[in-house]
Structure 1
Amino acid sequence: MSVKKTSEPTIFIIFGGTGDLNARKLAPALYNLYLDGWLPKQFSIIGTGRTKLTDEQFRTNLLDGINQFSRSGKTTKAKWEDFSKNIYYQVSDAKDAETYKEFGKRIDAHNAEWNTKANVIYYLAVAPEFFPIIASNISKAKLAEDPEKARIVIEKPFGHDLESAKELNKLLAGIFDEKQIYRIDHYLGKETVQNIMAFRFANSILEPIWNRNYIEHVQISVTEQLGVQDRGPYYEGSGALRDMIQNHLLQLLCFVAMETPISFSADEVRDRKVDVLRAMRKFTPDDVRTSAVRGQYGSGWIEGQEVPGYRQESNVNPDSNTETFAAIKFFVDNWRWHGVPFYVRTGKRMHQSASTISIQFRDVPHLVFPKEATESWQQNRLIISIQPEMSIRLQVQAKRPGIDMILNTVDMVFDYKGTYTSEAPEAYETLLLDTMNGDQTLFMRGDQVEEAWDLIMPILSTWEAKKSLNFPNYSADSWGPEIAEALIARDGYHWFTLPVTNKEKKK
């Protein structure tokens, strides 16, 4: 969300610097920010881990990751040399507070060299069990004394349930001010997600119809063709509800349902999102039974290859009760949205990988045209496609060319690739730049996290207490379990899917 061209001098200290997240996402994002002129002239990237590496070995590892995963392709020698001279490695044991003193020495050395006091960003690219110990050791080493300069970034999951989220928030609040804490959800950095706010609040034609009087229902779908791959141990303790709905999907719902903020300040936007979560209808045991569906994928074929079921994946309990699919009907009980259902679904090993928001408008009050003209009649629909296609399309009825009055659905499309020639930044580029600039608009606040957990806890508790007897209940390459279709069909609707073109499939 930044509008500044460059940031103040910045030091990144990346815990888990030798890990997958840094290689695939963080290092390529920082390199692209450098190429595009967003990084300050004075910056330093310090990776840390238990593995003993020299600065040069660490740089080589990051170079491999950038060449493989960067959207800008392989590095050039001159650019890499200029960028990599700012990369360092510090061997450290995250559990040993004494080793953190070395970070303090490096920070002091940079501040002296640059003749200024740099922003210091502690990025915790580590498993969540390390969050408390690293935060505590940063405090013990007196590395977060200045609330204007020190910031900490933590990746989801933010807790395992409501109680653990509260404990984590309490611990962080004892060390940092809320303005220093950046709970990163990469979904919120995606270009089309940010455009939801621009689309809603920069266009006056939408506000009069963005309510229960004109909108019939909303669908939010995030589906993946991939299975759990090598994440079996993590996923066994998580499941689709924790992994996707508690954060990604509820955040998308908040963007769609939030009231107009009075300004674009971080707290104002986040206040409006918290208002949505607080207005959402709480689940009773009966609601869990009728409004929430879980599923687990079995074996099947995807793109000509046989794939195993979830229980056959490596490091997964062969009798696992973990859901790989979840579909839930939510209600936002406020003036704007009363009675409008919000259907969300997410799953692995689905027919296609796609993230879409579909907003269906109410039908016309009276059909003027004869039946033969309206055989393919469909209500107006606004579709926000986040991936693989980045687009916003409005589906309307129009006359088909010819002598007869025949109506059919046509799409009015805003497509990123067709409109802009410049490549959209990756989500992590946007979010890392916002962290440097101290902009928390796209980051989750502590109360937001707790409200989201509070909302889904009745479902989570019910599912964990009661083993599903029909798992696996959907095959790989399907659209999920049949009961998920029944969930929405009972209300007279069906799940919307945006057809994927051959060009997009090849990506």
Structure 2
Amino acid sequence: MIGRLVILGGTGDLSGRFLMPALAALHAAGHLADGFRVTGASREEWSTERFREWIAEWLDRQGGSAPADARRAVVESAHYRRADVTDPEDVRAVVAGDEPVALYLALPPALFPRVVTALRSAGLPPGSRIVLEKPFGEDLDSARELNRLLAELVPERAVFRVDHFLAMTTVQNVLGSRLANRVLEPLWNSTHIAEVEIVWDESLALEGRAGYYDRVGALKDMVQNHLLQVLCLVAMEPPVTLGERDLRDRKVDVLRSVRLLTEYDVVHRTRRARYTAGRIDGREVPSYTDEEGVDPERGTETFAEVELELDSWRWAGTTFRLRSGKGLRGDRKEVAVRFRPVPHLPFGHSGEVVPNVLRFGLEPEGLTLDLMGTGSRAGHLTELELSARLEPGELPAYGRLLLDVLRGDPALSIRGDEAEEAWRVLTPVLSAWERGLVPLEEYPAGSDGPASRHAYGPGPVTRDALLHEETVLHTSGEAGGRP
């Protein structure tokens, strides 16, 4: 197990908000050995004492339930080195030593190629590992080039392309619910499931992140990585084990099965929008284009939605809708699995029918099943809801990721070919959006986003609408999924 963590960009928000609290949780759980060290490197003219004060301030705010002695251990284990992380001589001084290091690139992704090039020139101690945050590259070509540079630095098994969604307890519960319950797995296919929605809608607006967000947007920030990763866990075939090879092979199979969107598909099956001025929870929110640091000419979207189909035996005929938006009325963060309606209702019921929906709450954590049952009146149907709260995991998501890095278990990291396949899926969307084939819609901050063009949504719909949707799905399936 590696005993030294080096954070390039050690004074940044990612380091203070997530990595330091994660280390405190690992200390509290007894996962870090005595003598563990963390080194922060950045351009700031700081001393180790100033760095430790900064860590203590973050842990006071974000340390969660970690006891005081664990927080103190993190602070005392920390050291600081001023460095230009793109300069080979500077990074050589930071990583100097005989023992292997876990090197975390807590940096803007645009710097990754230059930093990896500098590291290749400087050299790393044998057995070292490198950690990169999403997004991995800016498009398919840049992801391929970054993979090439990394292959010249360390073996693939020592590269950790991390996505903290994969370590969230609720995301892991998707696998647990699927693979450990016989009642679900026989139904987990297109014969029974009409649609899967993977949604991360939040009331949070830009909140000072223009320097990063305005160059990325909702599609690259959320859909290309987080939501596609969740799609893989929902749709993959049961792996033989949850080891790195079996799990990652099955995830790649899902991405390879995604049917590439044509220009017609992109126009009719994707949406992009950005918020205008409005009110969220009683506070005024300026228009996205009026936020400090935003360039309106970029046309950056704060809302993205993509509908995908998988060309596989299990999922042909099921729609997968991936959606994420900022500045909305409220938070909706879930995986919603909508089942097809029953073929016949003997109750003579003509009112609203709620489709059976299994919801995996991503934040807050929970599991809900929407059903229909008979009410107090004979032949009358009523809505039923079965729900369960999930216990939080022993470690926060970043704690789990760091522990895997230090132990050398890449099962929850993204393999090189997987990163490229994810970009392949969205390349037609990016290309069409850049050419303006899909209009950039607008929605007021604090609203539900751009108007839905679907006959159904998260709430109840009529049985006639559901049956109509079934007809459309099966008809399009017979025609190869194309108009």
Q: What is the TM-score with the length of structure 1 in the denominator?
A: 0.86
How far does residue 327 in structure 1 lie from its aligned partner after superposition?
1.2
Structure 1 match to 2:327: 349
Do structure 1's residue 432 and structure 2's residue 402 form an aligned pair? yes
1:44-83 correspondence runs (5 A): 44-72=37-65, 76=68, 78-83=69-74
Contact 2:247/2:411, CA 8 A, preserved across alignment? yes
SS of residue paired to 2:369 = strand
The one of 140, 150, 153 aligned to 2:128: 150
How far does residue 427 in structure 1 lie from its aligned partner after superposition?
1.1
| d(CA) in 1 for partners of 2:13, 2:35 | 26
Do structure 1's residue 494 and structure 2's residue 457 form an aligned pair? yes
Structure 1 match to 2:475: none
| d(CA) in 2 for partners of 1:204, 1:301 | 46
Structure 1 match to 2:465: none
Do structure 1's residue 175 and structure 2's residue 116 form an aligned pair? no
How far does residue 355 in structure 1 lie from its aligned partner after superposition?
1.1
Q: Cα 1:138–1:320, aligned 2, differ >3 Å: closer, same or farther?
A: closer
Structure 2 match to 1:328: 306
The one of 122, 137, 143 aligned to 2:118: 137
Unaligned runs of 5+ in 2: 461-483
SS of residue paired to 1:342 = strand
Contact 2:8/2:40, CA 8 A, preserved across alignment? yes
Q: Cα 1:9–1:328, aligned 2, differ >3 Å: closer, same or farther?
A: closer
Structure 1 match to 2:373: 398
More deviation, 311-320/429-438: 311-320
Contact 1:321/1:468, CA 8 A, preserved across alignment? no
Q: For 1:187-221, what per-residue CA distance to the aligned partner results, in whole angstroms no more than 9, with x for missing partners?
A: 11111001111111112222211001111111111
Q: Cα 1:467–1:337, aligned 2, differ >3 Å: closer, same or farther?
A: closer
Q: Cα 1:285–1:80, aligned 2, differ >3 Å: closer, same or farther?
A: closer
| d(CA) in 1 for partners of 2:412, 2:283 | 38
**Which amino acid is the alignment partner of residue 63 of structure 2?**
S
Q: Cα 1:459–1:468, aligned 2, differ >3 Å: closer, same or farther?
A: closer
How far does residue 404 in structure 1 lie from its aligned partner after superposition?
3.9
How far does residue 369 in structure 1 lie from its aligned partner after superposition?
1.6
Q: For 1:233-275, what per-residue CA distance to the aligned partner results, in whole angstroms no more than 9, with x for missing partners?
A: 3222211111111111111111111011111111211111111
**Which amino acid is the alignment partner of residue 382 of structure 2?**
N
Q: Cα 1:85–1:259, aligned 2, differ >3 Å: closer, same or farther?
A: same
SS of residue paired to 1:139 = helix
Structure 2 match to 1:501: none
Contact 1:16/1:126, CA 8 A, preserved across alignment? yes
Contact 1:350/1:478, CA 8 A, preserved across alignment? yes
Do structure 1's residue 458 and structure 2's residue 428 form an aligned pair? yes
SS of residue paired to 2:49 = helix
| d(CA) in 1 for partners of 2:285, 2:441 | 14
Structure 1 match to 2:30: 37
SS of residue paired to 1:296 = strand
1:301-312 correspondence runs (5 A): 301-312=279-290
Structure 1 match to 2:474: none
Q: Cα 1:100–1:235, aligned 2, differ >3 Å: closer, same or farther?
A: closer
Unaligned runs of 5+ in 1: 1-7, 109-116, 498-507
Structure 2 match to 1:382: 358
How far does residue 424 in structure 1 lie from its aligned partner after superposition?
4.9
Contact 1:298/1:476, CA 8 A, preserved across alignment? yes
Contact 1:360/1:382, CA 8 A, preserved across alignment? yes
Do structure 1's residue 192 and structure 2's residue 167 form an aligned pair? no
Contact 2:197/2:320, CA 8 A, preserved across alignment? yes
Structure 2 match to 1:103: 94
Q: For 1:307-360, what per-residue CA distance to the aligned partner results, in whole angstroms no more than 9, with x for missing partners?
A: 111111111123442211111111001100001111121111111123111111
Contact 2:4/2:101, CA 8 A, preserved across alignment? yes
How far does residue 9 in structure 1 lie from its aligned partner after superposition?
4.4
Q: Cα 1:381–1:79, aligned 2, differ >3 Å: closer, same or farther?
A: closer
1:83-102 correspondence runs (5 A): 83-102=74-93
SS of residue paired to 2:296 = coil
Contact 1:191/1:424, CA 8 A, preserved across alignment? no
How far does residue 81 in structure 1 lie from its aligned partner after superposition?
4.0
**Which amino acid is the alignment partner of residue 357 of structure 2?**
R
Do structure 1's residue 123 and structure 2's residue 104 form an aligned pair? yes
| d(CA) in 1 for partners of 2:92, 2:409 | 28
Q: Cα 1:461–1:84, aligned 2, differ >3 Å: closer, same or farther?
A: same
How far does residue 231 in structure 1 lie from its aligned partner after superposition?
1.9
| d(CA) in 2 for partners of 1:320, 1:140 | 35
**Which amino acid is the alignment partner of residue 342 of structure 1?**
F
How far does residue 385 in structure 1 lie from its aligned partner after superposition?
0.6
| d(CA) in 1 for partners of 2:20, 2:348 | 60
| d(CA) in 1 for partners of 2:6, 2:252 | 31
Contact 1:376/1:408, CA 8 A, preserved across alignment? no
| d(CA) in 1 for partners of 2:261, 2:82 | 48
Q: Cα 1:496–1:221, aligned 2, differ >3 Å: closer, same or farther?
A: farther
Structure 1 match to 2:413: 443
Q: Percent identity?
A: 38
Q: Cα 1:173–1:9, aligned 2, differ >3 Å: closer, same or farther?
A: closer
Do structure 1's residue 232 and structure 2's residue 210 form an aligned pair? yes
The one of 5, 8, 11 aligned to 2:4: 11
How far does residue 165 in structure 1 lie from its aligned partner after superposition?
0.9
Let me know the Cα RMSD of the aligned residues. Answer: 1.9
| d(CA) in 1 for partners of 2:249, 2:185 | 19
| d(CA) in 2 for partners of 1:300, 1:123 | 38
| d(CA) in 2 for partners of 1:165, 1:346 | 23
Q: Cα 1:432–1:59, aligned 2, differ >3 Å: closer, same or farther?
A: same
SS of residue paired to 2:101 = strand
Structure 2 match to 1:505: none
